[in-house]
């Protein structure tokens, strides 16, 4: 009975966090990422969209990484303090610390601000786009790393979701 009451509290009072979804109009979940969004192309960020933010969301964060990199997970994009009114990110987000709406970007594994597209040294890699609905704006400066973002989000994640694309270089 206690479990049922807890479930009802979570669903009806906190919002159904199971509805959060993230996707791209450029490629399907599990599909191939067009080279336009990679080091073999224009190396611009793909368009992203989401739906199902739970009630109480105060900011959104996104991490894009590659767990198949030979030296461990490679971070391609860290972006946070996205306003909860946003329904997505347009294609080709500029590589600046702070966007006009207050969204902040962190450092990727190359040590640069903003998006860095897939560029696997060999084989086909998976690139995960993870979205987090948060109950607060984060007290982080621009340029935060993935680890700093994950630490700042602890205890503040209302919901999370992910999707991924694959890429292999054309040689």
Domain regions of the chain by residue span: 15-167
User: What confidence score (pLDDT) does residue 9 get?
Assistant: 41
> Does residue 2 have a pLDDT over 80?
no
Burial label for 8, CB within 10 Å (0-12, 13-18, 19+), is exposed
State residue 170's pLDDT score: 79
pLDDT confidence tier of residue 171, bands split at 50, 70 and 90: low
What is the rounded end-to-end Cα distance, in angstroms, of the chain?
59
Q: What is the mean pLDDT of residues 79-107?
A: 98
pLDDT recorded at residue 89? 98
Q: What's the predicted TM-score (pTM) here?
A: 0.89
C-alpha dihedral sign at 107, 109, 112, 118: negative
The predicted-structure confidence for 128-164, as pLDDT tens digits, reads as follows: 999 999 999 999 999 999 999 999 999 999 999 999 9
**φ, ψ (nearest 5 deg) of residue 55:** -60, 140
pLDDT at 3 over 80: no
Superfamily per CATH, domain 15-167 = PEBP-like (3.90.280.10)
- The whole-angstrom separation of Cα 95 and Cα 45 is 10
């Amino acid at each position: 009975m206690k479990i049922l009451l807890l479930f009802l509290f979570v669903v009806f009072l906190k919002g159904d966090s199971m509805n959060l979804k993230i996707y791209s109009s450029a490629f399907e979940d599990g599909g191939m990422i067009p080279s336009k969004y990679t080091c073999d192309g224009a190396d611009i960020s793909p368009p992203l969209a989401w739906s199902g933010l739970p009630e109480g969301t105060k900011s959104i964060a996104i991490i894009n990484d590659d767990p198949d990199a030979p030296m461990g997970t490679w971070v391609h994009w860290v972006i946070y303090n996205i306003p909860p009114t946003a329904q997505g990110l347009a294609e080709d987000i500029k590589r600046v610390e702070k966007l006009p709406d207050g969204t902040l970007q962190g450092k990727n594994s190359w040590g640069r601000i903003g998006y860095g597209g897939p560029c696997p040294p060999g084989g086909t890699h998976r690139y995960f786009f993870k979205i987090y609905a948060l109950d607060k704006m984060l007290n982080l400066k621009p340029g935060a790393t993935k680890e700093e973002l994950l630490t700042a989000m602890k205890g503040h994640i209302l919901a999370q979701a992910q999707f991924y694309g694959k890429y292999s270089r054309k040689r």
